[in-house]
Amino acid sequence: DFQTATLEKTLVQFPEKSRNYALAFKNNNTRNLSIDSVWFETLGHYKGKKEVLHLLINNYSSESYNNIPIQLFINDSLKSSMVFSVEKESDVEVEMPFIQWYEGLNQVKAEINDYPITFDNTFYISYSINDKSRILIISGNGATKYIYTLFNEDENFEVRNVTANEIPYNDFAQYQLIVLNEIDRFHSGLISELNRFVVQGGTLVVITPADIQPEEMNPFLSSVSNFQLGNWINQQGTVSKLDEKNDLFQDAFKKSITESRLPVYQGFYPILIKSYSSYSKIFESESGSPIMVKTKTGEGICYLLTLPLKTENTDFGTHPIFVPLFYNLALQSSSTFKPYYWLQPNMMASIAVPNYSGQTLVLKDGTSIPELMPGTRFQNGKLLVYPETDKMKAATYQALIDNLVVDNLSFNYDRNESVTTYFTENELIAHIKQLGLNHFEIMQPGAELLTKEFIDSHQGTDLTHWMLILALLFLLFEVFVIKLMR
């Protein structure tokens, strides 16, 4: 059908040595509404949380729509229903609030009714809610207890606080978040296990102590991040350039940051960042040096805070922004895997299976379709999944190992097909010429038989009858010459 959104990707798949014929039918642009994407307002899920799911609805037609119903299902139960309107050839963002009540694995389906194109009426996502998010705090000598106190009485978290001499190395994989709370000793075993924890998808928070030399900590930081410590700076100041729109500061400010008093400090370690490194800044010192940053390492996240939390150095641990910052950080630590994937060739999904030992993975969508056994590869505590997408439909699939559900994987059809605009015949000819695709030829739809046009195009003009006439003429000429000779 030569859709403008997908034509180039389709045509370049044909070998240059092949001969291809394109038949340009007349296309009428078809009206279509599509759920193009979905996302949660905030990261992290827990039982009882008030959620807002955002949906981007795109109207590809030349007419407006009013009061279109949309429904939200969680684990096959209707959770929310509303209507929306959207102008022609535009999009609208719809917000659907609901309360989380289901622990464990959750399957979400958002759905509209729109015809004649229906494949993009439904959008699938999945996520999990742990009974409790598990946090390990490793505290140095004289470290503050602000973080332990924050989580210890909260029913959504299970927190364990140990000293540097009690570290449970073998249990790291059981935790979503590990906090190094002002520890000053980093031996090779600890460095190796923390690197493994982060690379495999864990979240690590490093809070520097006030009396460590940068060279004692930098080898460890190099193994889990792209950060280094500079020398301690004795400098009074106020935390600055804090992004109040960052998810970590949700509900932290009842008024603008410019009207709020931010934490003060007496000194800090400047953070040195390697060239061309990818990172985000949470906030910085008054003089412009980053003092809390975030980076992705492997499949996990590493945060570095170089503002020691002792009261003689800063009031950050008792400041109003401390609670939402670390609370939201802990919630986000349990949301590291993708909520959905696109059904595209050669795509890869992943699930966390720390104790995987080579068993067969099966994907099952709960219908009569045969179970799928995709290719897999185990790497860094994750099972990489390579499904045959041409055998799949859009749905949320259960991932089973030894008949036990280990995760959900949600797949949606590629939304490029939702764009219902097409090349005209002249546009198609010009576009193929522009791409330099000389192995394509446009055939004309019309009254002439298609088979004959193909043969003419492929073999040239048929001269058989002319050759027969010419042969008869030669035969008559030969007879005439023979009679003359007699």
pLDDT tens per residue across span 54-104? 999 999 888 999 999 999 999 999 999 999 999 998 999 999 999 988 888
Instruction: Report yes or no: 181 and 147 within 8 Å, Cβ to Cβ.
Output: yes
Q: Residue 136: what pLDDT?
A: 96
| One-letter amino acid for residue 252 of the chain | A
pTM, to two decimals: 0.71
What is the sign, positive or negative, of the torsion defined by CA atoms of 324, 329, 333, 338? positive
Q: Which of 326, 325, 304, 316 has the alpha carbon at shortest distance from 267?
A: 316
Q: What's the number of CA atoms in the CB half-sphere (13 Å) around residue 350?
A: 15
Measured CA to CA, the distance from residue 375 to residue 383 in angstroms comes to 10
Average confidence (pLDDT) over 433-450? 63
Write down how long the chain is. Answer: 486
Instruction: Report yes or no: 46 and 100 within 8 Å, Cβ to Cβ.
Output: yes
Q: Where are the domains of the chain?
A: 33-130+336-418, 133-332
**What's the pLDDT band for 355 if we cut at 50, 70, 90?**
confident
- Poorest-pLDDT segment among 72-76, 287-291, 422-426: 422-426
Structure tokens at 413: 């059809």
**What's the pLDDT band for 462 if we cut at 50, 70, 90?**
low
Structure tokens at 186: 């980093």
Q: Residue 192: what pLDDT?
A: 94
What is the sign, positive or negative, of the torsion defined by CA atoms of 309, 310, 316, 319? positive
Helix (H) or strand (E) holding 67: strand 65-74
Q: What is the pLDDT of residues 67-78, one digit of tens each?
A: 999 999 999 999
Measured CA to CA, the distance from residue 259 to residue 320 in angstroms comes to 14
Average confidence (pLDDT) over 108-132? 88
Q: Residue 455: what pLDDT?
A: 58
Tokens 């890869």 correspond to what residue? 348
Long-range contacts of 249-255 (CB under 8 A, 24+ apart): 249/321, 249/324, 249/325, 249/328, 250/42, 250/324, 250/328, 251/324, 252/320, 252/321, 252/324, 252/325, 253/321
Q: Residue 456: what pLDDT?
A: 60
Q: Is 201's pLDDT higher than 60? A: yes
Instruction: Report yes or no: 364 and 400 within 8 Å, Cβ to Cβ.
Output: yes
Q: Residue 255: what pLDDT?
A: 47
Tokens 């045969």 correspond to what residue? 370
Q: Is 467's pLDDT higher than 90? A: no
Q: Is 254's pLDDT higher than 60? A: no
Average pLDDT, the chain: 84
Q: What is the pLDDT of residues 147-169, one digit of tens each?
A: 999 999 888 899 999 999 999 99
Q: Residue 49: what pLDDT?
A: 85
Q: Is 195's pLDDT higher than 90? A: yes
Measured CA to CA, the distance from residue 285 to residue 267 in angstroms comes to 9
Q: Is 426's pLDDT higher than 80? A: no
Q: Residue 79: what pLDDT?
A: 92
Q: What is the pLDDT of residues 256-282, one digit of tens each?
A: 444 568 899 999 999 998 877 788 899
In CATH terms, the fold of domain 133-332 is: Rossmann fold (3.40.50)
Of residues 423 and 296, more confidence is placed in 296
Instruction: Report yes or no: 101 and 66 within 8 Å, Cβ to Cβ.
Output: no
Strands 361-364 and 122-129: unpaired
| One-letter amino acid for residue 96 of the chain | M
Selection from 310-314, 362-366, 434-438, 469-473 with the highest mean pLDDT: 310-314
Q: Is 336's pLDDT higher than 70? A: no
- Poorest-pLDDT segment among 8-12, 61-65, 315-319: 8-12
Strands 177-181 and 203-207: parallel
**What's the pLDDT band for 107 if we cut at 50, 70, 90?**
very high
Structure tokens at 203: 């979240």
Average confidence (pLDDT) over 13-28? 66
Taking every pair of Cα atoms in the chain, the longest distance, rounded to a whole number of angstroms, is 135
Q: Is 239's pLDDT higher than 80? A: yes
Residues sharing a CB contact under 8 Å with residue 17, sequence separation 6 or more, in sequence order: 439
Give phi and psi for 358, each to the nearest 5.
95, 10
Domain 33-130+336-418 has CATH 2.60.40.10: yes
Q: Is 419's pLDDT higher than 50? A: yes
Q: Is 427's pLDDT higher than 80? A: no
Structure tokens at 465: 């009858």
Measured CA to CA, the distance from residue 183 to residue 166 in angstroms comes to 12
Selection from 356-360, 422-426, 461-465 with the highest mean pLDDT: 356-360
Instruction: Report yes or no: 8 and 30 within 8 Å, Cβ to Cβ.
Output: no
